[in-house]
Structure 1
Amino acid sequence: MVLKQNTVNSRNVQAFVLPSTPPKKTRQFDRPVVSPRLETSGALGVPIYPDSGSDSSSPPSRRSSTEGPQNSMFSLGTIDPDLYKATQDDSETNFPEDHLGRVWFALEYQREAERLLVSLIKIKNLPSRTAGSSNACDPFVKIFLLPDERRFVQSKFKRKTTNPKFDESFVFQVSYKALQTRTLRLTVYDVDRHKKHRTLGNVLYPFKDFDYDDGQKIVLWKDLEEKSNMETSDLGEVQFSLTYNNHLERLTVVVLRARGIKKPTGMAAVDTCARVTLMNSNHVLKTKKTNVVTNSSDPLYNESFNFKLSPTQLDTSSLSVAILQVTPGDEGYERQVGRVVVGPFMYARGKELEHWTEMVNNQKDMVKRWHALTQETSDLGEVQFSLTYNNHLERLTVVVLRARGIKKPTGMAAVDTCARVTLMNSNHVLKTKKTNVVTNSSDPLYNESFNFKLGPTQLDTSSLSVAILQVTPGDEGYERQVGRVVVGPFMYARGKELEHWTEMVNNQKDMVKRWHALTQ
């Protein structure tokens, strides 16, 4: 079967795509990569849990079933490596000096289902920890959809090889419009004998360069680059340490310092403090603050706080460290610059998850880390709705209450909106309903209730989308989607969206009400 070469705007990227109608014979210069039909192993939606060096067949001892994106992601399973085999060519053997490694991966986007499939195939020529040895490397890969760095999926660990073969596939639930603004990042790590993770390099692939036909699989390779080329937070960073004492049931947090905090526009200085909040199952247990540090973009806090926390709460608790800008002479008004959330798999990913896990695994030791600040507010606005499930009546009730912060269209004096509620099962639309249009309001009040028929057996395979639509007056009711929220089980949602659905399932007949940030 013939493969056409696909041109990608990147210096060290080569791609091949499958034509819709294969010719009868193969030309010599074509690479015989066959369309990768996926063969899954294990249950659909089973996550890859990050750990600090366990074997690929041994999941970590502590883990939870829930998390933090706006974009849902999960492991799809393994792929059949025979379907990706290609003849040996220069890309397999011709490597430049000081080469960090070359990654082969495949992409497929299913537009109707809004699913991005990323297949990690293999890596070649990774650096070895021991000169002259080809087996002093234990690599694994984390896959991100930037700019979201808190959530990722992770490959299995490969032992003693600089040329690992993975043959694994992962799914990201993301709309096509949002995909155009995202960048795929594959970060390759090596786990040394002390179970420390050493970053070997990164591959970046901006989806604005993604040229595809619906359902078409594209195989690419790209060379690893130094981590120094990666983006850092524009909001600044904060350093703090965690210590847990299981005998005293005490969590100690030392907020050390922050750096790179930007001065507010029009102000000569920035005054800040740090707020530390301990939560369990989304309920605030305790909040504490440091003193205010004045006139510094790199404030030194160095304050310690103790929290009562039992060992049984470690898997359901999270810690938020926020940097607040304090405005002098404004009655102590505080504006959140950004924050960091560390915790178990239910609440964190990446460095934040690793920080918490290292604290749990090294009790009584002080574990100190820097973290990039993030801001979770949405430029598109927010929507508030409640969910109630009645298992006896097999009925899901959704009450769309209100929205806020909906921006007015450019050149228009007002914004008219409605909310659209869509129930889906296994990516098939079951029912769609809309609220009435609310005119001339950036903070519309809808307060409308909708009932959907949903059996208990469908709860684990269904999702609910709540979208805010801008209605253009006099344009025959033209509707443009401002943003949306998808809540559902682990297969479709993460973070607050997953928590909202889970709380509804666990508290049947109770009304569970939440605010959610809109995403595109």
Structure 2
Amino acid sequence: MASGLFQWLLDLFCCRSYCCDCCLEKNEDVFPQRRYKYTYVYAGRHRTYSETSSRASSTSESRRSSASSTLSNNIAGSSVDRRGNSSSAPVIDMRPIEFWPAGATNKESVQPRSRANRLMGTSGVDVRKFQPRLYEVDENEDDDMTDEEKVAKYKLGQLYFNFHYNLIHSVFIVTVREARNLPFPMIGDETRQDFAHSNPYVKVCLLPDQKSAKQTSVKPKTQNPEFNETFKFEIPFLEVQRRMLLLSLQDYDKFSRHCVIGQVILPLENYDLLKVSNVWKPLQPSAQLSPDRGDVLLSINYLPSAGRLNVDVIKANQLLQTDIIGGCDPFVKVQMVVGTRLVKSKKTSCKKNTIDPVFNESVSFNVTPDVLDDVSLVVTVWDYNCKSRDDFVGRFVLGRHPTGAQETAHWERLQASHRSPVAQWHTLKSRSDCDQCSLASVAASTRGVNKKTNKQEDISLRNN
């Protein structure tokens, strides 16, 4: 009796046989679908109803058609008695959400802006009127040119080389074979003294590391040099794939500065490095008009208690070649300048026939702590000649009158860490560049000129 009464009340108040959780538990075998809960607003009250999503087309279509028809009727303003009509559905409140207190005069509905308003900036400029072609960056025209077109355009000749990676020894091997049809010196520089032929050589490095560069020998007086020289770079395989191979073909001149004829830059990621790649590439102009003079690794240490400044000349790398045969015979001269007065000069031993010398020699100067701030160290690399005067290779200045940011940083590190050696690489500069920015370089150059003048005067007096 009680169960029958409960079933009669349930059928009376339930709008559908699957609207409540209790009905769903009873009809699980009929509607074994996933349940969803929806919240509707009806007569100012919130109620939650559970519905199921059926994959059966007939059930879902009938339910959607019933809901859409009921919703349209409710929006049109028809009053629905949910308990009296089992086919009706609650009304969904579509009014804008308001965050303003009751009684406020300036109310603004919070709704998404239209697409046209979103395209308008805060300044009122419509981004749809922008012209993208006005902001495009032009790509390099050389990327669209073939090798034959580059040879005809630049007329700098071609370079033949091959390269591969040896996995067994973990080395990258580059062989420079030959170059063809190089331009004559008068085409690139009319001030050169040798207008007949070039004296070419090739520098090889893996960008961005230029300190481990390699260099071929100089081939005198030829526009079609044959090098056939092999160079090895110890570098991991994964690292070499991210590097770029740079081959710079340069022209040696004994009586003038060297000049860069052309260069080839090759991204190694585009090649199979496990196979030998034989490449002919046209030489292209380089932004570097003159080659580098090399780098020097220098270590300095100051002992305030002993009043001694120690300078360790460790090694040099890729020095500018001053002899067409035999490379270079470098030595380093270190001069101490206090203010603008040259006080002391010392030099290392000479290393024969190399552009990558290793010195590991130390020179020291007596410097009191109160004079240290006025001290400048002029470091100059020379090429020794037994039958003529030495050739200038490069220079840099540390201390009171430095020649650049690298030298300034090195001297500041020395002052911040007494009794500890501080080592750093320095790039060599020309004499004129150092004289323009350093009074200490001018003092060292003037002292050298005065000494030569005094020697010439002494020789003339003896002859008389």
TM-score bin (small chain): 0.3 to 0.5
Higher strand share: 1
Higher helix share: 2
Point out the structure with max Rg over C-alpha: 2
TM-score (ref. length: structure 2): 0.35
Structure with the bigger RCO (C-alpha within 8 Å, sep 6+) is: 1
